[in-house]
Structure 1
Amino acid sequence: MIFRNPEYLLGLFCIPLFLFFFYRKNAQTKATFIHLFKVLFSSKGIEIIKQEKASNPFPWLFLASTTLFFIALSRPQWGKAEVELLESNTDYLIALDVSKSMLAEDTVPSRLERAKLLATNFISKLHGERVGLIAFTKNAFIEAPLSTDYELLEEILSELSPEDFPNGGTNFAAMLDEALQFFSSSGRSQKMLILLSDGEDHGGGWQQRLVDFKKESIPILSIGIGSSNGAVIRDSNGSLYKDYNGEPIVSIFNPAALELIAHSTNGLYIQADKYFDITTVVESLAKNPGYAKRKEKLKTLAEKYVYFLLPALLLALASFLFEFPVYENLEIKMGSKDKS
């Protein structure tokens, strides 16, 4: 037998501490709250006569229940079990626009934070699929290779900021080139690019890259972040970005480019003016058999915590009914305050 989380066994050291306080409390008899209430507000004299018991019953059931709880938390394992693993033959690549225009707040809390929220929620619902991350402005950068370490991906995603990328502007061509090269080493039969952007592009020439995506059967899910009204852009200090004439820069949401990217690759375009679940959309795009998950069986040690957890619950219930609470035996005698 082994323990998957042996650190929880340290909780057993709390039992001697409980015994110390139990015997200390058992040696004293205290008035309850209702007795104190009567002492403070009664107009008559009150005398409390304490009748101490020899001892309270020892809480054997409580101690046994606590011991079994800590053992169950440590996840004891023995024997053999077959576990069904779900593994997808699909690789996902998230391309996040981190240009300064994504700081616009026409989408709450901002375009960039809305994009991060959508991407993080998608990653948190994956089960065995590999996912990578590209951040792009004028240039594109691989922030995370294909991985199933979802916690690390979410951490990297949360820390992305336009201030970390010196070259401003947005270049779809650079992003698409980097994504094609990224997928070339994937090895999986199915791939999908998830693009989150406000649609502003300052590079041009990206339309030719879409032919290669369609040829490689890589659909692009384009998610537009922004509103038709546009918005000014503020830096981390709250100051407005201004043009050469000193006028505030207004970022205009451009869905047309994102729609073309999606439709040219047999993908889908969605505007994220309201929150939605990317997972549902991805599943609608991935109905063909190539996206089906492959089931495998792996022999491993069997989880046996339930053998300790169920008795612990029963003993805890029995302890609650028969051992707790224990009330003090006090007699309250009403009479005159003047003892003479």
Structure 2
Amino acid sequence: MLRFEHIEFLWALMLVPLFIFLFFRASRWKKKALAAFGERKVLRQVMPEVSSSKPRIKFILFICAYILLVTGLANPQIGTKMEEVKRKGADLMILLDVSNSMLAQDLAPNRLENAKRAISQLIDNLHDDRIGIIVFAGQAYVQLPVTTDYSAAKLFLNTINTSMVPTQGTAIGAAIGMGMKSFDFKDGMGKAMIIMTDGENHEDDAVSAAASAKEKDVTVHVIGLGSAEGAPVPLYKNGKVAGFHTDSTGHTVISKLNEDMCRQIASAGGGAYVRATNSNSGMNIIMDETSKIQRREYGTKSFKDFEDRFQIMLTLAFLLLVVDFLIHHRKNRRISRLKLFEVKKP
């Protein structure tokens, strides 16, 4: 397995396209400057020892040396041994509402982005717990199965939006049922669900689903997103707000947080209910509750005994720079005298 100890140094590779651009710009400027003195054939006779290919060769060597130098500073490491690491944790399944009402802006910048930011902070604070993500609106879908790959969790989290579930609605019960199917109850690990929703326009019996989950020792927590006053649901066109959702009579729809429903679900699931605000997502309170879940030891495969490989990169970079230094801009007189490609006249 390959990894970089200082991966932040790899950002310096972004300068490579800039170097290439500047080189070609300088080459064009040089050609124009020489063209002002006379024709190319005449200039070749005046400056017979000047090579047109060696500057390109030197630039290629420089670029290759630069890439190797940056890679070496990032210190590539190779894992030489894989072993089973014992961890102690629980399974956490995030159930995230992605219905259109989650675009309401009574939480900044909107309810959905506020929830995603809270989940991202949760992932940053996880150590050995496994996490999964289910998105739901009128239907529920597994976005990420339970995993300890927190980088993948963040990657999947960033792709979540309201258009990924075609059927509108708030099927919280279906999401809970999907979460129960996603858990592996044979491993004996403690399990919990964290529902993040505005609770509006629910379409199934979410309270019964939460109660069923509790019977199987799965705690259901709820974070309410929105406000009692509510806010209009914006319509977007080309990435900009182009109006607001209206009802059949043409009046603007105001989406409000259904706190009563959220409390009922949390109560039936044996969990806690917290209403998110702009200053506090409530995730810390929920995590304090999930810390009470019984953790169980489990094993994961991971590489260890990583060996540094920066020496190879830096050595190659040094050799290329030496070769670049030894190459002169002028033509090699001995090679020029050979005239390998000269056609002899009869």
TM-score, length-scaled by structure 2: 0.61
Deviating more after overlay: 187-196 vs 289-298 = 289-298
Determine the structure 1 residue equivalent to 2:285.
Answer: 281
Determine the structure 1 residue equivalent to 2:294.
Answer: 290
Determine the structure 1 residue equivalent to 2:30.
Answer: none
How does 1:99-248 map onto structure 2 within 5 Å? 99-184=99-184, 187-237=187-237, 238=241, 239-248=243-252
Amino acid at match of 2:181: Q
Q: Which has the higher contact order (CA 8 A, sep 6+)?
A: 1
For the structure 1 residues 144 and 247, does the alpha-carbon distance in structure 2 shift closer, same or farther, using more than 3 Å as the test? same
1:258 aligns with 2:262: yes
Unmatched 5+ stretches in structure 2: 13-68, 310-346
Q: CA RMSD in A?
A: 3.8
Q: Residues of 2 paired with 1:112 and 1:232: CA distance?
A: 14
Amino acid at match of 1:257: M
Determine the structure 1 residue equivalent to 2:274.
Answer: 270
Q: Residues of 1 paired with 2:170 and 2:293: CA distance?
A: 36
Q: Secondary structure at the match of 2:244?
A: coil
The CA deviation at 1:250 is 0.8
Determine the structure 2 residue equivalent to 1:74.
Answer: 75
The CA deviation at 1:83 is 10
For the structure 1 residues 137 and 79, does the alpha-carbon distance in structure 2 shift closer, same or farther, using more than 3 Å as the test? closer
Q: Residues of 2 paired with 1:106 and 1:79: CA distance?
A: 52
The CA deviation at 1:213 is 1.3
Amino acid at match of 1:256: D
For the structure 1 residues 76 and 234, does the alpha-carbon distance in structure 2 shift closer, same or farther, using more than 3 Å as the test? closer
Q: Secondary structure at the match of 1:290?
A: coil
The CA deviation at 1:281 is 2.8
The CA deviation at 1:218 is 0.9
Determine the structure 2 residue equivalent to 1:34.
Answer: none
**Aligned length, in residue pairs:** 249
Q: Is the 8 A contact 1:198 1:254 kept in 2?
A: yes
- Tell me which structure has the larger Cα radius of gyration: 1
Amino acid at match of 2:105: E
Amino acid at match of 2:244: L
For the structure 1 residues 84 and 275, does the alpha-carbon distance in structure 2 shift closer, same or farther, using more than 3 Å as the test? farther
Q: Is the 8 A contact 2:89 2:128 kept in 1?
A: no
Q: Is the 8 A contact 1:104 1:231 kept in 2?
A: yes
Q: Secondary structure at the match of 1:127?
A: coil
The CA deviation at 1:103 is 0.7
How does 1:10-89 map onto structure 2 within 5 Å? 73-74=74-75, 87-89=87-89
Q: Residues of 2 paired with 1:165 and 1:3: CA distance?
A: 36
The CA deviation at 1:233 is 0.5
Amino acid at match of 2:258: N
TM-score, length-scaled by structure 1: 0.62
The CA deviation at 1:85 is 5.2
Deviation string 1:276-313 (CA, Å, 9 cap, x unpaired) is: 366633442244472266799989426789xxxxxxxx
Q: Kindly indicate which of the two structures has a greater share of residues assigned to helix.
A: 2
Q: Residues of 2 paired with 1:278 and 1:124: CA distance?
A: 15
Q: Residues of 2 paired with 1:212 and 1:279: CA distance?
A: 24
Q: Secondary structure at the match of 1:117?
A: helix
Q: Residues of 2 paired with 1:150 and 1:225: CA distance?
A: 24
Q: Is the 8 A contact 1:87 1:295 kept in 2?
A: yes
